[in-house]
């Protein structure tokens, strides 16, 4: 009788352990990074003239919603504020006192001297595989995207990770961008005006 009880207890323990294991895996899937905040740093190299630019970028974003980037130079000098929504992007370039608006598919070269479109920014930040055209992407055994490239766009993007930190290398025909992200702060919600950006008085308005 005691032997039977021991056997039953053993199988009950195994069943409970298996259930806990399944629950943990399910929770990991459910806690996908949908909304977060990052502190990041970039180094931009112009391959034509060999010049470099560095900046710090504070990022607030939603995977399927809106993004806000606050770009600052050395000593925290504000450079630009950029907001992307599903309908448009808005960008205030503070030193030039210019306020740009445009469609999310437009190239940002004339705005931030960055020859990519805003949707690629979202893919870089949230580690999303790029689709459409001749974009092709590879993933590692954990299902994380590691590289994307397009011959038509002449762009390649490579992600490397160290714990929750990540480095992204973006290479184009005449530029190289290195983007380092510190570990994200997961957010449940943002303030109502987080993704609102209006032109400051005296800024020149340019619709692209």
Residue matched to tokens 């004339």 = 110
* Domains along the chain with CATH numbers: 35-130+179-207 (2.50.20.10)
Q: Is it the case that residue 55 has pLDDT exceeding 70? A: yes
Q: Is it the case that residue 19 has pLDDT exceeding 60? A: no
Q: Is it the case that residue 58 has pLDDT exceeding 90? A: yes
Contact 1, 9 (CB under 8 A): no
Mean pLDDT of the chain: 85
Contact 35, 43 (CB under 8 A): no
Contact 67, 60 (CB under 8 A): yes
Q: Are strands 98-102 and 89-93 parallel, antiparallel or unpaired?
A: antiparallel
Q: How many CB atoms lie within 10 A of CB 102?
A: 19
pLDDT of residue 54: 94
Which residues on neighbouring strands pair with residue 108, listed in sequence order? 114
Tell me the mean pLDDT in the region 98-117.
91
Q: Is it the case that residue 28 has pLDDT exceeding 80? A: no
- Tokens representing 156 are 């390649």
Which residues on neighbouring strands pair with residue 40, listed in sequence order? 57, 181
pLDDT of residue 113: 85
Q: Is it the case that residue 31 has pLDDT exceeding 80? A: no
Tell me the mean pLDDT in the region 41-59.
94
Q: Is it the case that residue 23 has pLDDT exceeding 80? A: no
Q: Any idea which of 80-89, 113-122, 163-172, 190-199 has the lowest mean pLDDT? A: 113-122
- Tell me the pLDDT tens digit for each residue of 127-157: 999 998 899 999 999 999 999 999 999 999 9
Nearest 5 degrees, angle CA 18-CA 19-CA 21?
65
pLDDT of residue 13: 35
């Amino acid at each position: 009788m005691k032997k039977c009880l021991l056997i039953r207890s053993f199988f009950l323990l195994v069943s409970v352990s298996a259930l806990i294991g399944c629950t943990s895996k399910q929770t990991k899937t459910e806690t996908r990074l949908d909304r977060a905040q990052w502190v990041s740093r970039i180094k931009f190299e112009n391959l034509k003239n060999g010049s470099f630019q560095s900046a710090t970028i504070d990022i607030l974003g939603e995977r399927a919603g809106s993004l806000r980037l606050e770009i600052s130079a050395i000593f925290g000098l504000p450079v630009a504020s950029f907001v992307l929504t599903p309908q448009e992007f808005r960008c205030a370039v503070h030193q030039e006192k210019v306020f740009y608006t445009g469609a999310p598919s437009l190239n940002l070269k004339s705005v931030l001297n960055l020859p990519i479109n805003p949707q690629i920014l979202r893919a870089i930040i949230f580690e999303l595989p790029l689709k459409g055209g001749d974009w092709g992407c590879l993933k590692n055994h954990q299902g994380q995207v590691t590289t994307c490239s397009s011959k038509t766009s002449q762009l390649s993007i490579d992600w490397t990770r160290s714990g929750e930190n990540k480095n992204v290398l973006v290479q184009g025909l005449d530029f190289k961008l290195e983007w380092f992200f510190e570990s994200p702060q997961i957010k449940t919600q943002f303030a109502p005006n987080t993704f609102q950006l209006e032109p400051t008085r005296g800024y020149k308005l340019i619709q692209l």
